[in-house]
Amino acid sequence: MKLLVAIDFSDSSQKLIEYVKELGKVVSGNIWLLHVAEPDPEFVGYEVDPPEMRDAVARRFHKEHQQLQQLGLELRSEGMDCVALLVQGPTVETILREIEKLSVDMVIVGSHGKGMLRHLLIGSTSEGVIQKSSIPVLVVPTHGRT
């Protein structure tokens, strides 16, 4: 089975990785660990930004890349065939594009459970993927509520 696991480096990402480790004990296949790097809205026009702003974004992307590679190594050390991908773009659209590009069978995302107000203001990545995906989406609750 080919799985795409979308992570965001929030506190819930490690819980999602632990779930994938458990899933890997019963399901074998390829895993793509995806982090979508989105520049802050004020950095959209890179060509007009001062060099220090570009450098700050580059440092953030470099840090995220290192974190992502470490998580990929963690899954590979568990015997999983895992490739870590850092892709820049709008989150939901980029996840959907990678689903098609990689021809995955299922996408796994975490659910933060942040609350209705935050959901209304900024939306939900997992909801956007569920609504637009042509393949099964597994949403793993990572908020710790019972």
CATH code, domain carrying 79: 3.40.50.620
Query: What distance in Å separates the CA atoms of residue 56 and residue 96, rounded to the nearest whole number?
Result: 28
Considering its fold, how many domains does the chain have in total? Answer: 1
Report yes or no on 146 lying in a domain.
Answer: no
State how far the Cα of 109 lies from the Cα of 112, in Å rounded to an integer: 10
Q: In what order do the strands lie in the sheet with 137-141?
A: 81-88, 30-37, 2-7, 106-111, 137-141
CA 44 distance to own-chain centroid: 21
Its domain, for residue 7, covers 2-141
Q: Is the pLDDT of residue 118 over 50?
A: no
pTM of the model: 0.82
The helix (run of H) or strand (run of E) holding residue 138 is: strand 137-141
Question: Residue 51: inside a domain, yes or no?
Answer: yes
**pLDDT score at 115:** 54
